[in-house]
Amino acid sequence: MPPKGGSKKKAPNDGSTTHTPTLAEQLSYLQSPRPFKNPNYTKNVNRRTKNLKTVLGQERERERAGRERKRQEREEREQAMDVDGAPPQTEQEVEEDVPTYTSIEAPPSLLPPRHYCDITGLDAPYTDPRTGLRYHDKSVYELIKGLSAGVAKDYLAARGVNPIVR
């Protein structure tokens, strides 16, 4: 039996036929202009990445310098002011005293740290002595007993503990 489709002969390609674009080519945005891109943009090769600690430190330093500058301006105004009376505070000076997320400084907590279940994320009053995993209740403990050592190490590593599994 001859193979299927073997009886059809293809027409010779003489180059006169035009290419009809496929649906994917018709819907493609690859060749369309991109007005949102800046044609004059050049990537800065000297730019280096900064970790979070560096960025927060620079932000804290910038806020401290701003507060110091405002304090000096306030002192200069007070020295130049007459003895008669003080001008009312402006809104900008009132805003200066409002605490922000980065400006609040507090001592470490006196309470012990909370322990959470490595599997469920709920409060964890128990710790498995074999793996060191924290768990919420009996049903989670049954699951932990069935875990392999590698999986237990992965859970401990996710918590940031140096995994030592016996």
Instruction: Encode pLDDT of 131-155 as tens digits.
Output: 899 999 999 999 999 999 889 999 9
120, 166: one domain: yes
| Residue 153 included in any domain | yes
| Residue 82 included in any domain | yes
Distance from C-alpha of 166 to C-alpha of 130, rounded to nearest angstrom: 6
Residues 39-64: what's their mean pLDDT?
86
165, 119: one domain: yes
120, 152: one domain: yes
92, 132: one domain: no
127, 159: one domain: yes
Q: Show the tokens assigned to 19.
A: 């290419």
Give the pLDDT confidence score for residue 79 in this predicted structure: 80
| Residue 35 included in any domain | no
Domain residues for the domain of 165 are: 115-166
| Averaged pLDDT score across all residues of the chain | 80
Give the pLDDT confidence score for residue 9 in this predicted structure: 58
Distance from C-alpha of 3 to C-alpha of 136, rounded to nearest angstrom: 66
User: What percent of the chain clears pLDDT 90, i.e. is strictly above it?
Assistant: 31
Contacts of 142 (CB under 8 A, 6+ apart): none
91, 136: one domain: no
| Residue 131 included in any domain | yes
> Which of 26-30, 98-102, 161-165 shows the highest mean pLDDT?
26-30
pLDDT in tens, 63-109: 999 999 999 988 888 887 755 555 555 555 545 566 777 777 777 88
Lowest mean pLDDT among 87-96, 109-118, 125-134: 87-96
Q: Higher pLDDT residue, 138 or 13?
A: 138
87, 121: one domain: no
124, 162: one domain: yes
Last residue of a domain, one of 38, 69, 96: 96
Last residue of a domain, one of 34, 69, 96: 96
Query: CA 96 from chain center: how many Å?
Result: 28
Give the pLDDT confidence score for residue 85 in this predicted structure: 57
The reported pTM is 0.38
User: For the chain, what is the HEC assignment?
Assistant: CCCCCCCCCCCCCCCCCCCCCCHHHHHCCCCCCCCCCCCCCCCCCCCCCCCHHHHHHHHHHHHHHHHHHHHHHHHHHHHHCCCCCCCCCCHHHHHHCCCCCCCCCCCCCCCCCCCECCCCCCECCEECCCCCCEECCHHHHHHHHCCCHHHHHHHHHHHCCCCCCC
Counted domains in the chain: 2
**133, 156 contact by CB (below 8 A):** yes
